[in-house]
Amino acid sequence: MENNKKIILTGDRPTGKMHIGHYFGSLQNRVKLQDEYEQYILIADVQALTDNFNNPEKVRNSIKQVCMDYLACGIDSEKTTICVQSMIPEIAELTVFYSNLVTVARLERNPTVKTEISQKKELFGNNGESITYGFLGYPVSQAADITSFGAHIVPAGEDQEPLVEQTREIVRKFNSIYGDTLIEPEIMLSKTPRIKGLDGNAKMGKSLGNAIYLSDSEDEILKKVMAAVTDKTKIKKDDKANPEICMVGYYHNLFNLENKECVFSECREGRRGCVNCKKELAKKINEYLLPIRNKRKYYEEHPEIVDKILIEGTLKARNRAKYTMSKVKKAMHIDYFDEK
C-alpha cells in the first residue's frame, strides 16, 4: 500500500520441515522475488488442518520450523512479511462470504482437489466418500488468502494452477455482483521441474519418505545418499553404467554441475565406483547446504527472534487483511455499524 511494488502471495502448509524440493521449487525463487515485489508468505496452518485436523500438534510444531527454513534460505523479514494464517481471522471471514460464490460441483471438479482426494484414501475413503466440507472448500479459503493481501501475483507450480484459476473465478463473480472491489491475481508459473527423490520417485516429498531436509545433519545426508538408487545393471565397481538413469547422477547434475561431465564420463567408462561417487555427492550437498544449516542453527538458538518475526509479520499482514475486509463489507453493504 505504501509503495508501488506489486504484491505477491505465496505460502506453505506447516506439515513438516522443508526439503530440497521446496528449495529449488519455491524458496530460491522467493529470495529473488522479495527485492522486486512486496512479498507475503503465508504459513497456512488453517489449510494444513483441513487434512491434519486429527494432528494439530504436527501443524503447531511445524510453524516455527518452516519459518526457520525460510530465514535460513535467505528470506529477509525486512523485505518479506511472514505470517500465520489462523492469526488473521479476516481470512476465515472472507472465506465464508466467498463460499456463496462457488458451487460444490465446481469444487469437486477442481483437478488439484481431485488428485489430492485420490491420494488421501486413508482419510477420505476410496471414492472420496468421507471428504470433509473443510477440505473440499480449501480452494475457497485460498481465494481468501490471496485476495485478503490484495495479491497481484501468485508464484506456484503447475499443480497449483487450478487453485489460482478458482480464485480468479471467485474474484470475477464477486466483482460482478458487488462492484469492482477485489484484485484478480495472475499466476507466475514456476519454471523449475519437480525435484526427484533419491529413491527414484518422480518427486521428493515429505510424505513419500524420500526427502532431504534443509535441516538434515551431514551424517543424515551421507546416510540418505548412500541408499540412493543407481543403475541396477552395475554390480561391480568397474562395471560401465548409465548415469542418466541413476539418481546419484541426477543429483550430481544439481549439486556438482561443474564436475558433472567428468562424473558422467567416468561412470559410463566404468572408471567410477558407486560408493565413492555417492560420497562425493554427499560432500557436495553438504557444502551447498552448509550456509543454510549454519543460519538455521542461529535461529534455532534464538527462538525469540523467530517469534518476533512471526508476530510482527502477522500483525502487518492482518492490517492489510482488515483493509480488504472493510472494502468487501462496504461493497456487500454489510458494513452495518460503519455507516454514517
Chain residue at closest Cβ approach to ligand ATP: 25
Measuring CA to CA, which residue among 246, 223, 220, 247 is closest to residue 233? 246
- Summarize as ranges the residues that interact with ligand ATP (CB under 6 A): 12-13, 15, 21-22, 24-26, 157, 159-160, 194-195, 203-208
Q: Which CB, 202 or 275, lies closer to ligand ATP?
A: 202
Judged by CB, which is closer to ligand ATP: 159, or 218?
159
Task: With CA atoms as reference, report the closest residue to 45 among 94, 92, 104.
Answer: 92
Q: Please, what is the Cα angle at 133 between 51 and 55, to 5 degrees? A: 25
By beta-carbon proximity to ligand ATP, the closer residue of 128 and 197 is 197
C-beta closer to ligand ATP: residue 10 or 324:
10
Q: How far apart are CA 214 and CA 217, in angstroms?
A: 9
Assign residue 339 a region (left: φ > 0; alpha: ψ between -120 and 50; beta: otherwise).
beta
**CB of residue 208 to ligand ATP, shortest distance in Å:** 6
Q: Give 136 or 163: the residue with its C-beta nearer to ligand ATP.
A: 163
Would you say 25 or 97 has its CB closer to ligand ATP?
A: 25
Beta carbon nearer to ligand ATP, 204 or 246: 204
CA atoms within 13 A on the CB side of 164: 22
Taking the complex as a whole, how short is the minimal distance between the CB of residue 24 and ligand ATP, in angstroms? Answer: 6
We find the least distance from the C-beta atom of residue 157 to ligand ATP, in angstroms, to be 4
Contacts 24+ apart (CB under 8 A), 251-255: 251/198, 251/225, 251/281, 251/285, 252/277, 252/280, 252/281, 252/284, 254/24, 254/195, 255/281, 255/284, 255/285, 255/288
Residue 254 has φ and ψ, to the nearest 5°, of -90, -40
Question: Three-state SS for 143?
Answer: helix
Q: Which is nearer to ligand ATP, 160 or 253 (CB)?
A: 160
For 330, other C-beta atoms within 10 Å of its C-beta total 15
CA 5 vs. chain centroid, Å, equals 23
Where b means 16+ CB within 10 Å and e means fewer, 154-182 reads: bbbeeebebbbebbbbbbeebeeebeebb
Question: Which three-class secondary structure state does DSSP give residue 157?
Answer: coil
